[in-house]
Amino acid sequence: MKADLKGFDAGETEAWAVSQGLKPYQGRQIRRWLFKRLAGSFEEMTDILKPLRKELQEKVLVSLLENVETQVSGDGTKKYLFRLRDGHLIESVLIPEEDHYTICISSQAGCAMGCLFCSTARQGLKRNLKSSEIVDQVIQVRRSMDTPERLTNIVLMGMGEPLANYDAVVRAVGNLIGSDGMNFSSRKLTISTCGLVPQIKRLGRDITVNLAVSLNASDDKTRSLLMPINRTYPLARLISALKDFPLPNRRMLTFEYILIKGINDSAEDARRLAGLLSGLRSKINLIPLNPFPGSDMSCPDMEDILRFQAILIKNHFTVIIRKSRGSDISAACGQLSGGYKISG
């Protein structure tokens, strides 16, 4: 079996190199090529002797994902469809911002959480991604860019529930933010969750990253309807865990609230949400529902969205109405499905 070095940390990479009869520094060389120079094969690793390159090519997995299709939205957003080595499909989204790019990556093929507003949920869970497959999405997208250095922000908000694949996600984050890995800033990496309380508590102890919580309702009845996980971890338990979540200076929790017409968009919902989040250092992203095939829910009118925002602002919250990016290619929040049509 070939070694999966994108899933190794620095010490494991050096130990692997020694086990192959190499020097520890050669393990560090290979790691730099994979994570910093984004090498797609050992042929690109020009400071490694050619006979050794050929030998290592037979022993190491370099590219873990096959780019099946890249779609480009009218707003410049790109959606990458990747095939895993066992045939499962996942999607990643590259979002252009004013002065940088953000990548939204997946942590699972499919999802088991069953949220009603999410296309991925219709698939069910296919499998967890390996830590190397999580990292390789960033590597492959960066390799495709003319200006890879402008990709500075990472959000684990793609397919799957990151905290349901906890160990692989934490290991992947280590390679994404580590100075011996891809060296992204931990301030610019965000993990999203639908509210797995035990894992939220672990995350606060294990690593320092931004946390976004997909909330979407301010009462248990509505949230349990939209998000089955709420039946296991209702709002009182979730909010209690978030109050204990360690936040470095000037960092805030982010709450994602998908607005759905007639379900969670009333003035009463907004006032109840303000009370629920009182005392938490947080900001709120309001996301008008992005429709997808098979869903009978719809987006509220803009007048109702603005009213909802105004109530929260009046209660001293920072509130952003998040503009949907890539909705014309089904790349917006809740639209990822990991499917494609063969043309012709």
Q: Which amino acid is at 322?
A: R
Structure tokens at 292: 């997808």
Structure tokens at 333: 């929040």
Relative orientation angle of helices 24-35 and 10-19, to the nearest 10 degrees:
130
The rounded distance, in Å, linking the Cα atoms of 178 and 10 is: 9
Relative orientation angle of helices 131-144 and 24-35, to the nearest 10 degrees:
60
Catalytic residues: 91, 333
Beta-carbon-side half-sphere exposure of residue 276 (alpha carbons within 13 Å)? 22
The rounded distance, in Å, linking the Cα atoms of 344 and 284 is: 44
The rounded distance, in Å, linking the Cα atoms of 172 and 16 is: 18
Q: Are 286 and 257 in contact (CB under 8 A)?
A: yes
Q: Are 184 and 177 in contact (CB under 8 A)?
A: yes
